[in-house]
Amino acid sequence: MGSALLLGVADRGTWPLFIVGTGLTGLGCGVFSPSLNAAALLAIDPAYAGLGSGLLNTARQVGMAMGVALLGSLIGMHDTLLGLRLSVVLVAACFFAVIALSVRYVPRKETA
């Protein structure tokens, strides 16, 4: 939702759209992160929970560092608006990929 709003940013007059879109994207990341931890740890044998948690957090930190560098370079393009739109599409694609992988690979709890 936040990424879709950010696609509507066109010039300085659309700053409220930028603020709301960025806020919703940040809120989504904040809600999504603990859920991702829980889902990943459900898919791991409890004997390896420490290893799995460490691997997950390391992968997340490396991904964030690479993501910030990539998005920063896109936004720093000569055409800033194009860079922003490419960044937003990339972020949305990553969210959808994680959701699709979670649906496919995270085991469901059986209810009685």
**pLDDT tens by residue, 87-109:** 888 888 888 888 888 788 777 76
29-65, pLDDT tens digit by residue?
888 778 778 877 887 888 998 998 899 889 889 988 9
d(CA 46, CA 26): 31
d(CA 70, CA 72): 5
pLDDT for the residue numbered 20: 92
Say whether pTM exceeds 0.75: no
Structure-token pair, residue 19: 């603020």
pLDDT for the residue numbered 110: 67
Query: Could you give the dihedral angle defined by the CA atoms of residues 29, 34, 38 and 40, in that order, rounded to the nearest 10 degrees?
Result: 40
